Structure 1
Amino acid sequence: MFDNLVSRARDSIAKRKRYNQMVDEIHSLTDRDLADMRASRSEMLYQVRRQIYG
């Protein structure tokens, strides 16, 4: 039981780390970068959250 709890905690930490890295990357994009990609920052953030957390 304790091993399961530790495993879930590690998994959550890893997911949060990956999520934060991707969010930082998206926030570092300039408006020009987004326009060149024809992308929306809010849509990208939504997709990242969906991809990481389901």
Structure 2
Amino acid sequence: MIFDNFVSRARTSIAKRKQYNRLVAEIDSFSSRDLADMRADRSEMLYQIHKQIYG
């Protein structure tokens, strides 16, 4: 039971990290021009995805 709980939490953590890394890579791929066209701020986007995934 304890081991199952540990494995479940580890899988959840790995899935969150994988999703976070994918989104960070996507945001990092935007050029400054792309961000200007979207009227977006890279650091704000990174903050928001961190908040969305990790709470």
Structure 1 length-normalised TM: 0.99
| 2:13 match: secondary structure | helix
Identical-pair percentage: 72
Deviation at 1:35, TM superposition (A): 0.2
The aligned counterpart of 2:50 is: 49
Structure 2 length-normalised TM: 0.97
**1: CA distance, partners of 2:14 / 2:38:** 30
Matched residues, number? 54
Superimposed CA distance per residue, residues 4-54 of structure 1 (whole angstroms, 9 cap, x where no aligned partner): 000000000000000000000000000000000000000000000000000
**2: CA distance, partners of 1:52 / 1:16:** 9
Can you give the 5+ residue segments of structure 2 that lack an aligned partner in the other structure?
Answer: none
**1: CA distance, partners of 2:22 / 2:52:** 13
> 2:38 aligned with 1:37, yes or no?
yes
| 1:39 match: secondary structure | coil
**1: CA distance, partners of 2:38 / 2:44:** 12
